[in-house]
Structure 1
């Protein structure tokens, strides 16, 4: 007999900058409004087995993960915010308590876990339940809504939850296509993943302006106009990763064509070279580079290997070989903006903080992938210099990750100053780093 535990905890919301945000498209670190609400007593938490592992501590992930009944289905969810000192759940009042963005991160993390460690019934069960949640969040229009309210209604109105061509829909595609190989023996699940993916990609094919690869100049920088949000190379990288998995499953030539257009746009966003600032960095959008979600090099490496396209690979290696060492030597940043002057690029503004796991993980993945591709130890050296960010080689000179508890702090907010909250984004991005580190060891 399975006993159902009812969740009657108070969810606290505080006014502060929390670094585990699901609203990446515009403002990654929103202010929170202080209110206190009751978690709906009708939400039933279904007991689930914790994910154990001797090499990586999943305790905090197990804390953030719950299974609930949603739309008459058992689904897995990830609580977004978790606040120091007791790591109680919190909620952003305009968003919700769980979201497609972070559940999708968890799906990708579990697929990486299964690739590394092999069959694991507990991991597979969680993967299935999290995938079910994402499928339930697909809007009738084919895109995905992002947030779920604490009364188990879908947030369809707030700007970071609308079902449109944006981060959460791309991350949902990456997630469900990643989970498909592990869940395809469940024919119902496999068919629903395929149908959801097809419906979403049909919209993407229609809505991405890739018919005309034209450019425009904004803030002195020549930019592509055919990417999501016109020049969002960061979003394009996530979309490439989803489309690559789709192409592997379907061999859809349209997906391959979109990947090529996205890759061309990302390469157009690369500025500088080995000898000139910003040393081959891929801008994120317009004249802005930001650390979080900067998966451009990793996605180009994966696409280049999939399609034997050396141009993609060389572009990625240019950033990894030159910009990453420059960043490591000169100090991490949260973001910077550049302009072009006399055929050179100059920095016109910079944000040093916050520095977060979501800003380091993309670089670690790219450096590791470059090492797997080339077997050149210089990339392994870069990866090792990045991994120690977690253990104290950072601007705060403090460990960000505690291997005894599985807690990863939400970020460095100033010199020697840590945000000690530990929400979903920080936790999952750290686990993605740790799994990659274990993979390198093998």
Structure 2
């Protein structure tokens, strides 16, 4: 909330917002432990009479809440760091107080987090940084949002070192390529290679801002990878969903996730000199005005309320909690300042969405050697069985997964399987053609991961065309299959309002491919294509009712009506 009022004051000069930000920052620092072994950490709860309550009932970790690094420590750094330069000229004394409190927080990070700088966790054979706040790029990314403006304003060597080291850790969480899960995203949790969530998704924004201050190219590349490779797919696939674990199974969407995409795209566009990402930011912001599963506005400008969320079936949670309101307002502040993004956000009615389809393995035809697999819990400790079940294949076992109605056109197959060092392999065929082979044993030892094995989305080498089913054959040793994602080689989302329309396309092909689309509104279309880093590749015009788009392999395109 302090950041909302800070940004509103900075944007408008409103004295009321300055006063509210001042008081909120005072309240925030009241929650910060000032001395002792937990100095710099933050107590999360306060009673109405002002008494601090460090322990929740039921227990939440860390317990007591100021006994270790936490999400609220990261957010305290965000608020204090962004506030310092805002108050520096108008109230130097208060700015000095904020600086002292930020130094307390930096001490907590150095003592509890960066003491492990340079150490790596072994997560299923993948090295991940051990020096993230609360073991998360999600929390740490929000700390970067405060450290970057603070370092820019002060050139403080201590804070810059913290910024560089935390930024290095967050950048190391970037994973995947344009064709392989998670498609260039920055993963949020150090303990899992199978979890991505939209909420808490400001790490790319933090990396982008940090890269501008430090000049670090690795941070900038990670921010651009998330923004230009991953996010177009996310928006086309359905929007800022709460959990790909690793398949898209937790599909509720909330304002925290939607705002995270908008701000991350905007910051990456600025840091990487990729103005095309501003178009994508506008499409992401359209979530608040109808580009969501309900097809309804999630933000009410007459009251300032943002609804708490929307389920995949279109049911809207019409409560409006503090988190939803805060992230709705952070987004509207962006739209107030960026007229082009705001105009794009108003084009929010979903006309067409062609994207991946999840088919559960257990819905297929189980042949000899295939049995239903029912884990004790769908949650493994680091991932989720998408339907709460799967299929086990013994050597020689077969499974046939139906694709009728979804296998038309050119598609990439992405099996969701359990990787385990003791497992065999599966061959995936369509008719007499092999689409690919999955080596289920191609994974490291459990290491520091919470669970043995790894539920993973694998990408088969060969695209398929107009097929009705896919057959799976087990070989060598037992294998476990969770589901199959059928991904169009070129996916698209088409949006419109009464006067204009927009299409976003994203390619999973290895090379450029031409597709033909039609915009429902307008007479002329402006076509811009971009590579996987968001760099502009081409600009053309075409009749809106017949637009030929040549999408670069792994890249994306934005098509807008201009007349």
State the TM-score, normalizing by the size of structure 1: 0.69
Question: Which one of the candidate residues 148, 158, 162 is aligned to 1:254?
Answer: 158
CA distance in 2, matches of 1:350, 1:125: 43
CA distance in 2, matches of 1:400, 1:180: 32
Counterpart residue number, 1:126: 20
SS in structure 1 opposite 2:184? strand
Q: Kindly provide the CA deviation profile for residues 98-141 of structure 1, in whole angstroms up to 9, marking residues without a partner as x.
A: xxxxxxxx111122223322x22111111111111112111132
CA distance in 2, matches of 1:408, 1:276: 34
Question: Which one of the candidate residues 325, 331, 334 is aligned to 1:433?
Answer: 331
SS in structure 2 opposite 1:433? helix
Is the CA contact 2:117–2:165 (under 8 Å) kept in the aligned structure 1? no
Q: Kindly provide the CA deviation profile for residues 342-392 of structure 1, in whole angstroms up to 9, marking residues without a partner as x.
A: xxxxx4x73112x10000111100111233345544211101111110011
Residues 212, 176 of structure 1: alpha-carbon distance in 2 compared, 3 angstrom cutoff: closer
Residue 215 (str. 1) matches residue 120 (str. 2): yes
Q: CA deviation at 1:148?
A: 1.6
Counterpart residue number, 1:102: none
CA distance in 1, matches of 2:104, 2:205: 26
Counterpart residue number, 2:97: 192
- CA RMSD for the aligned pairs? 2.0
Residues 225, 331 of structure 1: alpha-carbon distance in 2 compared, 3 angstrom cutoff: same
CA distance in 2, matches of 1:181, 1:216: 36
Residue 228 (str. 1) matches residue 125 (str. 2): no
Is the CA contact 2:269–2:275 (under 8 Å) kept in the aligned structure 1? yes
Is the CA contact 1:210–1:227 (under 8 Å) kept in the aligned structure 2? no
Q: CA deviation at 1:325?
A: 0.7
CA distance in 2, matches of 1:132, 1:125: 11
Counterpart residue number, 2:242: 334
Q: CA deviation at 1:174?
A: 1.5
CA distance in 2, matches of 1:254, 1:412: 43
Residues 114, 375 of structure 1: alpha-carbon distance in 2 compared, 3 angstrom cutoff: farther
Count of matched residue pairs: 325
In structure 1, list runs of 5 or more residues that go unmatched.
Answer: 1-105, 339-346
Is the CA contact 1:143–1:169 (under 8 Å) kept in the aligned structure 2? yes
Question: Which one of the candidate residues 224, 235, 251 is aligned to 1:352?
Answer: 251
CA distance in 1, matches of 2:176, 2:116: 28
CA distance in 1, matches of 2:128, 2:271: 29
SS in structure 2 opposite 1:216? strand
Listed as ranges, the matches of 1:42-441 within 5 Å are 106-117=1-12, 119-140=13-34, 141-158=39-56, 159=60, 162-163=65-66, 164-184=68-88, 185-219=90-124, 221-229=126-134, 231-285=135-189, 286-287=191-192, 288-332=195-239, 333-338=241-246, 347=247, 350-353=249-252, 355-374=253-272, 376-441=274-339
CA distance in 2, matches of 1:352, 1:321: 22
CA distance in 2, matches of 1:335, 1:177: 30
Is the CA contact 1:174–1:245 (under 8 Å) kept in the aligned structure 2? no
CA distance in 2, matches of 1:145, 1:153: 11
State the TM-score, normalizing by the size of structure 2: 0.55
Q: CA deviation at 1:165?
A: 1.3
Q: CA deviation at 1:212?
A: 4.4
CA distance in 2, matches of 1:212, 1:297: 21
CA distance in 1, matches of 2:339, 2:149: 25
Counterpart residue number, 1:68: none
Residues 212, 305 of structure 1: alpha-carbon distance in 2 compared, 3 angstrom cutoff: closer
CA distance in 2, matches of 1:191, 1:216: 38
CA distance in 2, matches of 1:132, 1:113: 18
Larger Rg: 2
Q: CA deviation at 1:156?
A: 1.1
SS in structure 1 opposite 2:196? strand
Is the CA contact 2:84–2:150 (under 8 Å) kept in the aligned structure 1? no
Counterpart residue number, 1:95: none
Q: CA deviation at 1:208?
A: 1.3
Higher mean displacement: 179-188 or 106-115: 179-188
CA distance in 1, matches of 2:101, 2:125: 40
Quick check: which one's helix share is greater?
Answer: 1
CA distance in 1, matches of 2:168, 2:301: 40
CA distance in 1, matches of 2:178, 2:10: 35
Q: Kindly provide the CA deviation profile for residues 279-328 of structure 1, in whole angstroms up to 9, marking residues without a partner as x.
A: 10111102221111111111111011112222211221111111111111
CA distance in 1, matches of 2:230, 2:92: 45
CA distance in 1, matches of 2:15, 2:202: 30
Is the CA contact 1:304–1:312 (under 8 Å) kept in the aligned structure 2? yes
